[in-house]
Amino acid sequence: MFENKDDSSTSIGSLGEFGLIDHLTKNFKIKQKSTVKGVGDDAAVISCDSKKEIVVSTDFLLEGVHFDLSYVPLKHLGYKAVVVNLSDIYAMNAEPTQITVSIAVSNRFPVEALEELYAGIIAAAKTYNVDVVGGDTTSSTTGLLISITALGMVNKGEAIYRSGAKENDLLVVTGDLGAAYMGLQVLEREKEVYKVNPNSQPDLEPYSYLVERQLKPEARKDISGLLKELDVKPTSMIDISDGLSSEILHICKSSKAGCNLFEDKIPLDPQVISTCEEFNLNSTTIALSGGEDYELLFSIKTEDYPKIKANPNLTIIGHITDEKEGIHLISRAGTKIPLVARGWNALKDNG
Amino acid sequence: MFENKDDSSTSIGSLGEFGLIDHLTKNFKIKQKSTVKGVGDDAAVISCDSKKEIVVSTDFLLEGVHFDLSYVPLKHLGYKAVVVNLSDIYAMNAEPTQITVSIAVSNRFPVEALEELYAGIIAAAKTYNVDVVGGDTTSSTTGLLISITALGMVNKGEAIYRSGAKENDLLVVTGDLGAAYMGLQVLEREKEVYKVNPNSQPDLEPYSYLVERQLKPEARKDISGLLKELDVKPTSMIDISDGLSSEILHICKSSKAGCNLFEDKIPLDPQVISTCEEFNLNSTTIALSGGEDYELLFSIKTEDYPKIKANPNLTIIGHITDEKEGIHLISRAGTKIPLVARGWNALKDNG
């Protein structure tokens, strides 16, 4: 789906690899003062500060695995590819500063399509104040592949790991869960409708929040500052990319801890609830296993409870227990259900 | 080509994504003291030193585009994937310190194949003393994709860019050129022979150097130390991944300079010369356009000439001129031939 609808189309081969890189990167502006040298040499150069630590994270996005270009506009894809990486940086309590972007494309993409993709990448870089400092552009035999590496900086000793959760800590999540996954279900359904009747005009209005969460997610750049303001330092933190249950398991495994998660505390948007009913899906299951929420999940000491309890951005959803107690969802009916990485199957198996 | 010949084969699905990452990364040992946190969190954490700068480079390797598994053993592929990235770090005059490794694989690869690949990655990490600090493992619909990002450190202000070459500087190259490309020709020929007669036993002995340069290249980690010993600081530097002519053009473009390259000075291994004759190829063309040599190309001030002239690792192949004079190859016959990015075509067009 190329947003640029005019008929002009330039083949990638006509620019050549170096011409293409020059063409796509000429609009990149350097804003971070730590960027000594961006695109255009064998490597980017970034200045260091002994009071800081650097965090690095990398992600792959593959056509046909992570996205479907039949309903994902390339500009949105570029934006999202950056956001999913930055989310990992925020999950370390760091500020993202630079990204590198590697792209492999088949000849079916004209240069104009890559311009759309890069417009999204540049928009995200602007929103999150990061510099695009390097990358690689190559041809692929099949489709579009994007690999982004994000760098960020955190004050020395202030990185927050998955491993610091302690018994009795409270488990807190930002925002709400499950919307991105339900957005995907809505888009997949529209794609099927479109196949049968290409003239149908989909009405996505009732699903606007869901579709936006799927197509144009944002990373929680506000949380680090909010927690500083509230004078709360999480004991552990992770971002929610694969679904709540999988992230809870990561924290518990890394922290050698157990957890009780309360079903009735899981924050859900009304659109998630109504659309789950429409699709005959269990909204808890969707929140647990849907993924792509890019919210932050963290644990705090119980003494910090008063500081966060009234905050509309934060929801306490459970507490950390001793490792021996295991990792459970406490259902609305009070039943204890073991959480496993694929909450979907787990719930189906257990009730 | 999987070196592990026994019949046991474990499907990737049986381990799951997280199981797979754990399985493949459990043997990674952290050696760099700058690595605060390696694999196992949302991001790796690396300590900073105000006296240093960090360099970052990233590369994509795609099956069917950059490698052919019918004659590239996976262990060699893993090794090479690391080396090509580290070569960029050395080209900045930096020491590589960390890498992240992202891999996408289709189900046709058993876990044992990925173990081979990672064995090569770990071997290279050991040889070059870098830590594998992160990455991503995902499924692909087609083949094997590898994306590696390398980080390195250089003393503040000592990074060497492509842009510093000045008129009258001497152009110097390490090692010899064209062997990796000729190794590829030999392997491609053997593949065709194998297709016709699967029982033929190839004798690669006369091509041993070429095949090794293609399958197991090394990055020039020795040059930075050698130049310090000789008290020479290059004015510009780049690594030779796409062929000599393309790299000379990069230096000249970045430095706003011209260049005279002397055909009779281009260092060629005797196996390159004899195999070029056998394949009826022009060895100069191969050195100019073959690529994958992973040697370093740099410029030095003329006053440094006495310091390097006797060194067997270094060959002076030309000199930098004013931009207006253009970029030329001076042939053995004394003819001036303009260099273009694809030296192959340039030579064909010009005689």
pLDDT in tens, A243-291: 999 999 999 999 999 999 999 999 999 999 999 999 999 999 999 999 9
- The per-residue pLDDT of chain A, averaged, comes to 90
Q: Under an 8 A CB cutoff, do B57 and A37 touch? A: no
Between positions 21 and 40 of B, the ones with CB within 8 A of A are 36-37, 40
> Which one, of B93, B82, B34, lies nearest residue A54 by Cα?
B34
B245–A contact, CB cutoff 8 A? no
Question: Which pLDDT band, with edges at 50, 70 and 90, does A313 fall under?
Answer: very high
Between CA A331 and CA A265 the distance in angstroms is 10
Structure ipTM: 0.89
Cβ B9 vs Cβ B107: under 8 Å: no
Q: Is the pLDDT score of B340 beyond 90? A: no
Between CA A165 and CA A258 the distance in angstroms is 9
Spell out where chain A has E strands: 35-37, 44-47, 52-62, 95-105, 131-139, 145-155, 170-174, 236-239, 257-262, 296-300, 314-322, 327-330, 336-338
Q: Is A263 annotated as a binding residue?
A: no
Between positions 52 and 111 of A, the ones with CB within 8 A of B are 52-60, 62, 64-66, 88-89, 91-92, 94, 98, 100, 102-104
Burial class (CB in 10 A: 0-12, 13-18, 19+), A301: middle
Work out the end-to-end distance of chain A between its first and last CA atoms, rounded to an integer number of angstroms: 41
> Which one, of A231, A222, A234, A248, lies nearest residue A306 by Cα?
A231
**Cα Rg of chain B (Å, integer):** 21
pLDDT of residue B235: 98
Q: Is the pLDDT score of B348 beyond 50? A: no
Alpha-carbon distance values, B97 to A113, B89, B102, B128, B216 (Å): 36, 9, 17, 9, 21
pLDDT of residue B351: 30
Give binding residues of B for Mg(2+) as ranges.
Answer: 42, 57-59, 88, 136, 239, 242
DSSP string, A268-300: --HHHHHHHHHHT--HHHHHHH------EEEEE
Q: B258 in helix, strand or coil?
A: strand
Average pLDDT over residues B242-266: 96
Q: Is the pLDDT score of B345 beyond 90? A: no
Q: Under an 8 A CB cutoff, do B60 and A154 touch? A: no
pLDDT of residue A29: 84
What order do you get walking across the sheet with B296-300 strand by strand?
A: B236-239, B296-300, B170-174, B314-322, B257-262, B327-330, B336-338
Residues 6+ apart with CB under 8 A from B178: B268, B269, B272, B276, B283, B286, B287, B290, B293
Q: For B45-82, what is each residue's pLDDT tens digit?
A: 999 899 999 999 999 999 988 999 988 999 999 999 99
Q: Under an 8 A CB cutoff, do A94 and B43 touch? A: yes
Between CA B303 and CA A167 the distance in angstroms is 68
Residue showing tokens 């273009």: B340
Pairing status of strand A170-174 against strand A314-322: antiparallel
Cβ A293 vs Cβ A179: under 8 Å: yes
All residues of chain B having their beta carbon less than 8 Å from the beta carbon of residue A98 are 56
Between positions 145 and 204 of A, the ones with CB within 8 A of B are 145, 147, 149-152, 154, 156, 159, 161-163
Cβ A41 vs Cβ B162: under 8 Å: yes
Average pLDDT over residues A15-21: 69
Over the range B128-161, which residues count as b (16 or more CB within 10 Å of their CB) and which as e? bebbbbbbbbbbbebbbbbbbbbbbbbeeeebbb
Q: Where is average pLDDT lowest: A20-24, A336-340, B187-191, B203-207? A: A20-24
> Which one, of A93, A104, A75, lies nearest residue A17 by Cα?
A104
H helices of A57-207, in order, are 74-90, 111-127, 179-196
Between CA A305 and CA A285 the distance in angstroms is 27
Give the CA dihedral A286, A289, A294, A296, nearest 10 degrees. 100
pLDDT of residue B83: 97
Question: Which of A58, A87, A237 is most worth mutating to test chain B (most B CB atoms within 10 A of its CB)?
Answer: A58
Between CA A256 and CA A236 the distance in angstroms is 12
Residues facing A320 on adjacent strands: A259
| Phi, then psi, of B37 in degrees rounded to 5 | -145, 125
Q: B107 in helix, strand or coil?
A: coil
Q: Under an 8 A CB cutoff, do A102 and B58 touch? A: yes
pLDDT of residue A198: 85
Measured at the alpha carbon of residue B255, what is the angle toward residues B252 and B260, in degrees to the nearest 5? 35
Between CA A49 and CA A44 the distance in angstroms is 17
Over the range A261-287, which residues count as b (16 or more CB within 10 Å of their CB) and which as e? bbbeebbbbebbeebbeeeebebbbbb
Q: What is the DSSP letter of B37?
A: E
Between CA B32 and CA B61 the distance in angstroms is 26
| Phi, then psi, of A343 in degrees rounded to 5 | -55, -35
Better-scored residue on pLDDT, B140 or B244: B244
Q: Under an 8 A CB cutoff, do B52 and A54 touch? A: no
Q: For A55-110, what is each residue's pLDDT tens digit?
A: 999 999 999 889 999 889 999 999 999 999 999 999 999 999 999 999 999 888 88
Q: B304 in helix, strand or coil?
A: helix
Domains within chain A, CATH numbers bracketed: 12-155 (3.30.1330.10), 162-350 (3.90.650.10)
Q: Under an 8 A CB cutoff, do B55 and A45 touch? A: yes
